[in-house]
Structure 1
Amino acid sequence: MPDDLPLAERPDPVRPHAWNRGFRYWECFFAVSTAAVVALVWNGTGPVGAELAATAWIGALVLWYLALGRRLITTALGTGEMDGRLALVYRLGVLALFIPLVLTDREAMPLLAPVISHLFWLVSLRSTVVVVVALSFMPLLVDAVEGDALTDMLWTVPFCAATAAFSIAVGMFVHRVIDQSFERYELIEELESSRAEVARLSHQAGAAVERQRLGAELHDTVTQGLSSIIMLAQAARSADDVRRQEHLRLIEQTARANLAEARAMVEALASGEDEAVQAESSIAELAGGAGAAFAVEGRPRPLTPATAVVLVRAVQEALRNAEKHAPGASVRVALAYRESTVAVSVADDGPGFDPEAPVSGFGLHGTRNRVVGLGGTFQVDSAPGRGATMRVEAPA
């Protein structure tokens, strides 16, 4: 049965349980036993009238089972609920029909085995035990009615007691198997319900985290880039020709950088979690827009969307810092594909800075958090007077 089948559409629990198959086997046993007992009755030496009467009582027992007993048992196996009063009526009816049967023809006594066994499918167990004990002592009743000697009757008592004890032991085992099967079935239903709830909550939590991450990415890329373009465009209106050209150059550079990162983000979002994307073209576009040299080491290969976005974001932040703190410096971007990781570095020969000094911006701090959250490493190597280098390494 498929795991994703809704609970409302699940088949009745009577079908998958092993003890239900056992019940069908019992019905076959009951049918064969009934036919065999009828044959024994008619092969006996009793009068034809007694044989007809015994056959009629056997037919009444079968009809009583088909009319009420089978419905009670299949209902109990399917839902675990049974009408206790009807079950008691059925037990008493079986006892009332079996007594005249064996008194009419004791050749019908072997029918005792299937009759006793099926009563244990009914609840409650206590009422069944009383009727089973009474049925087990039917041979003693027949001996008494037929006037057998007291010594013969005393020999019958241990046999009847052993039959009752064995029947009760088997019946209790059947009840324990049924109860355990229902408990396991209910436990499986509860576990599947809990699993579905956990999956739903996990999906909601994952969606919330993804919304927060996407909001942060849009704020760090598109929003900041558009804000920079707006400010540069406003400054260009009132600037002279030389300054206007510089502002236009910065506008183009900013637009190219944001376009490259937006493409990387869109490609990552459009891909599935297990699909791979290329980061090399986006990083090359970022480097070209910033006028930086770009080099690739190793054999390029597709990366996971998360890794690609982190690398592109780190390169953009490093180039932005180089433009801001080391204008006119020579900048080099290197992308290295290794066996199980991919690394990118952005180096400039500008004035450098003290990495331990407090900073007011959140760019490098946010980049570090992204890289570490992905399981990678982030390092900034710089000192006053000897440029700066940012290195990022992430799982490939």
Structure 2
Amino acid sequence: MPVRADRPARKFFLDMSGMIPGMPAAVLSTGRWTGRGVDMSDVDPGVARAENVWYRSYPFWDAYFALVLVGTVAATAADGTPPGRKAAAILLLMLLSLAYVAIGRKALRSREERRPGCRVYAAALLLMFVPATVLAPVTSTALAALTPQVYMVYGTARGFVLMVALFSGAIGSAMVASGAGVTLTLVMMLVGIVCSGLLATFIGRLSAQNRERALLIDELDRTRDELAAVSREAGVLAERERLARDIHDTIAQGFTSIVMLVQAAEAEVGSNRHLDLVARTARENLAETRGLVAALAPPALAEGSLVEALRRLAADFALPVDMDVEGEQRPLGAAAEVVLLRVAQEALANVRKHAGARSVWMSLEFGAGEARLTVADDGRGFDPAAVASGFGLRGMRGRVEQVGGGLTVRSGAGEGAVVEAVLPCSA
């Protein structure tokens, strides 16, 4: 990056590689979640849980379980199984439905209280459903309702283990009752277990995706609220600054002119009681006006000097900012200090929004008859000519020129950027 020949190279200028000598590389977060395979049972009970598709419609799942169970009972009643075995199987299904109402639904809905109920409900599934399939193999159709229920309650890993036991009992009983051979029975059991595993994987991935989306929505909501607060604060500060500038440029200048005119009149006609009263009143109101202008100054300057305000700004920035102050510190006047603070704020905002930088350097130099503020970054850079009216450059340049200063922007693709504001001031 080119450096002015009449000034020594400053430590915040970039070398040809676009990197800062001696500065370690920093890793920027992409804001994306890298974890996958979140277990459905591990979904937090907050917004992420509320956004999970499996937990949004409990009445639907209750109706689905009831419908499948009624269909299974009807199929069992119409089956050719001996009446005694059929009645016992239906009784076990009824007991299983009662276990779901008393224990399973609570385990499904309440994460904090469900662990003891989970164990009881798992025992009920094994002790009621598996014997029912042994008595009447047609009852294995209830697996259509039990499979999603198991994964919702127990999660992917524990649910898969339980489904292996249920599939083994149901398919094994059905195949034995039909007189199938051992090989066919094992193959059918294996197919059922594999299908259950695929379903578990699908449910786990869907749960992870829902959780990530819910977390992203939470983050976007927080960011939106923060941006709204920042926008309101920026609007208030901009209006305060506009009022201060208008008061200074109109009322304060008017009172100053009145005082000067009175002094000129006294020089011609001599001292006069009325002229003295006019001059005293104008001076008092000029002091009040200047007090109003000072009160409307940015809060950062109201709490201390310009250097302190810049240091606080650097400390609060999202990236590391190397702050450097050169020369003998002195007040620059309210107008100049407000302009330099606004330039620093706008330059740092541009770095955060556009530069993709890892580090930032800010320098305030008190020279003979001038003050120089420099903000540099090691970001991607840009063409100043192509964005002359963008990135807030026009506003910064207008502020600086209003107080008789100048703004320089130096940048290039991959070379970072340097924003430099120079204001005249008394030594």
TM-score by length of 2: 0.48
| RMSD (CA atoms) | 4.2
> What is the correspondence of 1:68-107 to structure 2 with a 5 Å cutoff?
68-75=103-110, 83-107=114-138
Counterpart of 1:65, as a letter, is Y
What is the Cα deviation at residue 89 of structure 1?
Answer: 3.4
Counterpart of 1:70, as a letter, is R
Give CA deviations for 1:164-185 in whole Å, capped at 9, x if unaligned.
Answer: 1101101220121112111111
Match of 1:223 among 252, 268, 275: 252
Higher helix share: 1
Unaligned runs of 5+ residues in structure 2 are 1-45, 283-393, 403-427
Secondary structure of 2:80's partner? Answer: coil
Note closer, same or farther for the CA distance 1:238–1:172 as it changes in structure 2 (3 Å cut). same
Matched pairs, number: 246
Note closer, same or farther for the CA distance 1:144–1:204 as it changes in structure 2 (3 Å cut). closer
Secondary structure of 1:59's partner? Answer: helix
Distance across 2 between alignment mates of 1:48 and 1:218:
99
Identity %: 27
Counterpart of 2:131, as a letter, is P
- Residue 187 of structure 2 corresponds to 158
Note closer, same or farther for the CA distance 1:184–1:165 as it changes in structure 2 (3 Å cut). same
Is 2:186 aligned against 1:186? Answer: no
Distance across 1 between alignment mates of 2:222 and 2:396:
37
Note closer, same or farther for the CA distance 1:211–1:125 as it changes in structure 2 (3 Å cut). same
- Residue 51 of structure 1 corresponds to 86
Unaligned runs of 5+ residues in structure 1 are 1-10, 255-368, 378-396
Distance across 2 between alignment mates of 1:90 and 1:225:
86
Distance across 2 between alignment mates of 1:41 and 1:181:
38
Note closer, same or farther for the CA distance 1:43–1:119 as it changes in structure 2 (3 Å cut). same
Distance across 1 between alignment mates of 2:186 and 2:230:
65
- Residue 398 of structure 2 corresponds to 373
Give CA deviations for 1:324-343 in whole Å, capped at 9, x if unaligned.
Answer: xxxxxxxxxxxxxxxxxxxx
Secondary structure of 2:237's partner? Answer: helix
Is 2:230 aligned against 1:201? Answer: yes
What is the Cα deviation at residue 31 of structure 1?
Answer: 2.0
Is 2:100 aligned against 1:65? Answer: yes
- Residue 304 of structure 1 corresponds to none
What is the Cα deviation at residue 159 of structure 1?
Answer: 0.7
Distance across 2 between alignment mates of 1:136 and 1:371:
71
Distance across 2 between alignment mates of 1:104 and 1:142:
8
Distance across 2 between alignment mates of 1:187 and 1:222:
51
What is the Cα deviation at residue 24 of structure 1?
Answer: 5.1
Note closer, same or farther for the CA distance 1:137–1:170 as it changes in structure 2 (3 Å cut). same
Note closer, same or farther for the CA distance 1:126–1:84 as it changes in structure 2 (3 Å cut). farther
Distance across 2 between alignment mates of 1:143 and 1:54:
13
What is the Cα deviation at residue 161 of structure 1?
Answer: 0.9
Distance across 2 between alignment mates of 1:91 and 1:179:
24
Give CA deviations for 1:117-175 in whole Å, capped at 9, x if unaligned.
Answer: 321112442211111011111145536986x86x6232111111101110110122012
Note closer, same or farther for the CA distance 1:370–1:136 as it changes in structure 2 (3 Å cut). closer
101-110 or 18-27, larger mean C-alpha shift: 18-27
Note closer, same or farther for the CA distance 1:23–1:157 as it changes in structure 2 (3 Å cut). farther
Note closer, same or farther for the CA distance 1:88–1:175 as it changes in structure 2 (3 Å cut). farther
Distance across 1 between alignment mates of 2:223 and 2:183:
60
Distance across 1 between alignment mates of 2:148 and 2:159:
10
Note closer, same or farther for the CA distance 1:370–1:193 as it changes in structure 2 (3 Å cut). closer
Contact 1:139 1:156 in 2 (8 A): no
Counterpart of 1:210, as a letter, is E
Distance across 1 between alignment mates of 2:163 and 2:396:
75
Give CA deviations for 1:83-105 in whole Å, capped at 9, x if unaligned.
Answer: 44533432232122212222232
